[in-house]
Chain A
Amino acid sequence: MRTIEIRLPSEISVLEPLQLFVESIGKYAGVEEDELSSLSVAVIELVKNGMEHGNGNDPEKIITISIDTFQSRIRFFIDDEGIWEPDMAPGFDPGEGEELLSSRGRGVLIARNLARWVEFGLTPEGKTRVTLIWPLT
Chain B
Amino acid sequence: MKIKEEMKGDVLVVSLSGKVIGGPELMDVKTVFQNAVNQDISKVLLDLGKVTWMDSSGLGVIVSGHTTLSRADGSLRILNATKKIHELFIITKLITIFETYNDEQEALNSFGE
Contacts and interface: CB of A to CB of B under 8 A. Distances in A.
Instruction: Describe B's contact surface by its main secondary structure.
Output: helix
Interface residues of A, number: 27
Contacts of A41: 53-55, 84, 88
Nearest to B54: A41
Given A19-B53, A37-B53, A94 B92 contact: yes
Contacts of A100: 63, 92-94, 96-97
Interface stretch (A72-80, A105-113, A118-126): A105-113
Contact of A44 (B21, B64, B92): B21
A125 B54 CA distance: 33
A104 B91 CA distance: 14
A71 interface: no
B63 A101 contact: yes
Contacts of B61: 103
Nearest to A104: B60
A47 to B, nearest CB: 10
Interface string B5-22: 000000000000001011
13 contacts: A12-B23, A16-B21, A19-B19, A37-B53, A41-B88, A95-B93, A100-B63, A100-B92, A103-B61, A103-B64, A106-B56, A107-B55, A109-B91
Given A106-B59, A106-B60, 20 more contacts: A15-B23, A16-B21, A37-B53, A38-B84, A38-B87, A40-B53, A41-B54, A45-B55, A45-B56, A48-B22, A48-B55, A94-B92, A94-B93, A95-B93, A96-B93, A100-B63, A100-B92, A100-B93, A101-B66, A110-B91
